[in-house]
Structure 1
Amino acid sequence: RKVASQWVLQHVVPRARDFLLPTQLGVGVSGGSEAVLHTIQAHLHYEPAHILLKLDLENAFNRVDRRLAKRILEERFPESLPLYVLGYGPDSANGSYHFGWLPEEGSPSSARDRFFLRSRTGVQQGDPLAPVLHALALSPYLMAMRSLFPNITVLALHDDISLAGPYYDIQEAFQ
């Protein structure tokens, strides 16, 4: 699955980057963290009365709304859907399974003790699609923030979000 994911990502990442820019710099942007840093520094240099608010979304990759990510994939990157279904199932009601062990009481672990956990939210650790799925699921919120608050610079590097702008605009954004 990883090899197939990497092959698909070669074709999807450039278009995903163009779709996610200018707010999300975590997909297909070389030196994305430096770009966020320099953009925010420049904003605050030219607007010294503005403030910076940094947000780190807690447990963000485990909270990805798969339905939203899948809908965006269907609309923008349909060639990646078979890979998505392979890793996450055809719909959120039939989520992917994660393998685990549950030993019988008083006995050493054996193959018959295996069990599977159904996973319906988030992205899988180590999945090459995970950063793209996370960025796509977060993108509607970042785009809405930019639209509703044009005086705020909104930049994200995966789950690290930087907001720079007038104090009252940033305060209003969180009311």
Structure 2
Amino acid sequence: MITGEMVWKKSLQTHGSAGPSGLDARGWRRLLSSTICGSGASDLCSALAALARKLATTTCHHLDAFTACRLIPLDKKPGCRPIGIGEVIRRVVGKCIMAVVKEDVRRVAGNLQVCAGQQAGGEAAIHAMREIFAQEDCEAVLLVDARNVFNSINRKTMLHNIKIKCPSLATYADNTYSEPSNLYVNRSGSNKARVLESREGTTQGDPVAMAMYALGMSVLQDVIAFEKTKVKQVAYADDLSGAGKLQDLSHWWGLIQANGPTIGYTPNAAKSFLIVKPEHYDGTVNIFSGSGVVVTKEGQRHLGAVIGTEEYKKEYVG
């Protein structure tokens, strides 16, 4: 299904800065679509299509140049977020792969992980949690935050899960993530870059990264499912949110803490919020005592929206 025409279309949709090679998306679009290149542009599109098909169907080796990234450390104030900027050619190929396997990924990820390409997935998660919180039998909503998950999710476990759950993506994922990627860090005042190895997590900006993450997280979601915890829940990538009774939420939180780190999902209690209805606030302090979770009866941001009292919503919007 991947043709030169598909590569051409995906290249026009690709933007961003360059990887270690120094050729950014604008340069690649010129090579792949400019009439100045004549038939060379069409030939290059066909060659990249052949490369994509091979990476998706055949075990390949020596892909160091294809998977290499330029590493940018962003200051989170406090903390640091490492951003690996991959090669544009990898982004174009990744978009072609996802165009073919996206329906498989959606089906496997299900309707409780809404980052796998579902239409308006974020909005669905926001409205679902808001409606559940408004129900009489719901006592609180727990919003779980995790530490730097995209860069720390267990790669070996993730690839194993993808092989079983989504075989159409497995070969490409294994080719690009089974071996460590080289990360090049430019040092000021030096012409030589320092090279680090990326052994865990996914690459920022890689079109298949979100799909791989969703499939990797599905194992944890099976463990904390509603059938086992009585907690109504939804996830947008690493943002887990659950709603229900306080005792059930306490059990749910315990399962996340016990099972999350084995796949690289380490919950961060200091940035996790329990939004509780005012009439249940006193009981919450006892149940979640010592957990480190921030308890509030006012409200908190949820995926760019807000859950809480009407007064807090107005304050947030203001």
Q: Partner of 1:148 in structure 2?
A: 228
Out of 190, 194, 211, the residue aligned to residue 109 of structure 1 is 190
Task: String of CA shifts for 1:29-72, please: whole Å, max 9, x gaps.
Answer: 11111101111122223344431001122211111111121112
Q: Is the 1:50–1:167 contact (alpha carbons within 8 Å) kept by the matching residues of 2?
A: yes
Describe the shift of the 1:79–1:15 C-alpha distance in structure 2 as closer, same or farther (beyond 3 A).
closer
What's 1:121 paired with?
A: 200
Number of residues paired by the alignment? 164
SS state at 1:174 partner: helix
Report if aligned partners of 2:132, 2:138 keep a CA contact under 8 Å in 1.
Answer: no
Residue aligned with 1:25, SS: coil
1:6 aligns with 2:95: yes
CA–CA distance in 2 between the matches of 1:174 and 1:115?
40
* Equivalent position amino acid for 2:224 in 1: M
CA distance in 2, matches of 1:14, 1:47: 36
- Which AA in structure 1 matches 2:182? Y
Give the Cα–Cα distance (whole angstroms) in 2 for the partners of residues 159 and 48 of structure 1: 26
Please give the residue correspondences for 1:71-150 in structure 2 after superposition, counting only pairs within 5 Å.
71-88=160-177, 90=178, 94-102=179-187, 108-110=189-191, 113-146=192-225, 147-149=227-229
Give the structure-1-normalised TM-score: 0.84
Alignment check: 8 A CA contact 2:137 2:244 kept: no
Q: Within 1, Cα distance between the matches of 2:110 and 2:139?
A: 23
Amino acid corresponding to residue 210 of structure 2 in structure 1: P
Q: How far apart are the structure 1 equivalents of 2:202 and 2:231? A: 29
SS in 1 for 2:224: helix
Q: How far did residue 84 of structure 1 move? A: 2.3
User: Is the contact between residue 23 and residue 143 of structure 1 (CA under 8 Å) also seen in structure 2?
Assistant: no
Contact between 2:104 and 2:168, CA under 8 Å: does it hold in 1? Answer: no
The aligned runs of 1:21-60 (5 Å cut-off) are 21-60=110-149
Unmatched runs of 5 consecutive residues or more in structure 1: none
Distance 1:47 1:28 in 2: 32
Describe the shift of the 1:143–1:133 C-alpha distance in structure 2 as closer, same or farther (beyond 3 A).
same
Report the counterpart of residue 151 of structure 2 in structure 1: 62
The change in CA–CA distance for 1:13 and 1:47 in structure 2 (over 3 A counts) is farther
Q: Which runs of 4+ in 1 moved over 6 A?
A: none
2:243 match: 164
TM norm structure 2: 0.48
User: C-alpha deviations, 1:77-131, integer Å up to 9, x for none?
Assistant: 333344324432x3xxx4111122347xxxx422xx2332111111111111111
Query: CA distance change for structure 1 residues 77 and 21 in 2, over 3 Å: closer, same or farther?
Result: closer
Note the aligned Cα RMSD (angstroms). Answer: 1.9
Computing the radius of gyration from Cα coordinates, the structure with the larger value is 2
Check if 1:16 corresponds to 2:110: no
Q: Which runs of 5+ in 2 are unaligned?
A: 1-89, 255-318
Change (3 A) 1:114 1:129: same
The 8 Å contact of residues 232 and 242 in structure 2, kept in 1 or not, is answered as yes
Letter in 2 for 1:76: K
Equivalent-residue separation in structure 1 for 2:174 and 2:126 (angstroms): 36
